[in-house]
Structure 1
Amino acid sequence: MKLHLVRHPQPEVGQGLCYGASDVAVTQAELARVHASLRMAGLPGQLPVIASPLRRCAELARRLQPHSLRFDARLAEMDFGRWELQPWDAIPREEVDAWAADLLLYRPGGAECVLDVARRVAAFSDDLRQAGDAEALLVCHAGTIRLLSAMQGAGSLDEAALNAARKPHRIAYGEVVTLEV
């Protein structure tokens, strides 16, 4: 199966804020810019499109494929609990250090741990493979893209989750990552 993973457009959120599962908006100009760049990228037409239900993904997905579109909450970004919409530099250093010391199981802001996110993304991936489509386009988040990519090369889910969490993220807004699954 071939997956085209598209990171959502840049959201309207202040610089340096933690915004994982927060449902933040995207400007119409940014949405139009990313949509146009994706059309120019030559993605195959008429693919099934599956998106995170968060607005920054959903709005782009609706523009890309309004007819063959479904939403799946398992594609949402990590929930950072009480850290959500807080400046990163306002989050207590000891909490950030605790997360760095246990990337797999620590629950930033009291919400999800990386392994929780990896489990739901893996369940989504399993269901997608069972559906039997040869190709699909997913509009999702950098964390989801990193996990799906890491799951292709790792042995266990724990290893994939740790690889995704440790790898520096360099996925641009609107970027397409294509995987053979």
Structure 2
Amino acid sequence: MELILVRHGDSEAAPGICIGHTDVALSADGFMAIQRLAAQWTQEAPRFLFTSDLRRAQQSAQVFAARFATEPLADPRLREVNLGEWDGRRWEQIAADDTARYRHWADNWVIQEAPGGESFSDVMRRTGAWLASLLGSTNENDCVLAMAHAGSIRALLCHALGLPPARAFALQLGHARASRIRYRLGQFEVSYTNASRFEADP
């Protein structure tokens, strides 16, 4: 099974805003970047097109859905990390107004949830459950495309690479960038990450 993970295009959120489950739309530039990426798709349509149920991911998925003449399957397990009480606020204001909790979270983000939110370990669990269900419903030659977020894609790549969650930010993931992993013979192979185009096999 080939799994291609795409981070949604840039959103309308202002720079410096804490965006987790805050449901912002794609920006005009973000929409055009996803269109450019979709235009480079040359292989057959994927068997499944999944998306996070947050608007910026769904709008990105609709660009691919129009190309494939299909409907994306929304799954909340592909959402960005839930940042709870901090969602939608400026990071610098959070650090100033909620200093103690912010510092504790910043030092322990793998296991420490944001106030009223979730930890990266929580994201690992829900994306892992999605990945397990996907493996149970696909065949070796199937291709699956999933539109998600930096946090959920990092979690999925940690699963595939066997990478410790604390190393998740070693994986750079830009907006409207693609990563491809393949599952065969009982293990994952990573073909590429953070690519601006869909790369062919060497």
> What TM bracket, shorter-length normalisation?
0.7 to 0.9
- Identify if the C-alpha distance between structure 1 residues 25 and 68 changes in structure 2 by more than 3 Å, giving closer, same or farther: closer
> 109, 113, 117: which is aligned to 1:103?
109
Tell whether the 8 Å contact from 1:4 to 1:178 is kept in structure 2 after alignment. Answer: yes
The structure richer in strand per residue is 2
2:50 matches 1:46: no
Q: 1:103 to 1:77 in 2, by over 3 A?
A: same
Q: Deviations over 1:109-132 (max 9, x none)?
A: 321111111110000000000011
Unaligned runs of 5+ in 2: 184-202
* 8 Å Cα contact 2:24/2:56 also seen in 1: yes
* C-alpha displacement of 1:56: 0.5
Runs of 4+ in 1 over 4 A off after TM superposition: none
Contact 2:25 2:59 in 1 (8 A): no
The amino acid across from 2:45 in the alignment is Q
- Pair 1:138 & 2:146 matched: yes
1:170 is matched by which residue type in structure 2? Q
- Structure 1 residue 169: deviation in Å? 5.1
| Contact 1:51/1:58 (8 A) holds in 2 | yes
Aligned pair count reads 174
SS at match of 2:11: coil
Q: Which region of structure 1 is more displaced relative to structure 2, 131-140 or 50-59?
A: 131-140
Percent identity of equivalent pairs? 25
Find the counterpart in structure 1 of residue 78 from structure 2: 75
Mapping for residues 16-165 of structure 1, pairs under 5 Å: 16-40=16-40, 42-47=41-46, 48-66=48-66, 67-91=70-94, 92-133=98-139, 134-154=142-162, 160-164=164-168
- Identify the structure with the greater helix proportion: 1
- CA offsets 1:19-71 (integer angstroms, 9 cap, x no match): 1111101134531332123312x353311210001111101111211514211
**What CA distance in whole angstroms lies between the structure 1 residues aligned with 2:55 and 2:17?**
17
Q: Where in structure 1 are there 5+ consecutive unaligned residues?
A: none
Aligned-residue CA RMSD (Å): 1.7
Q: Which residue of 1 aligns with 2:4?
A: 4
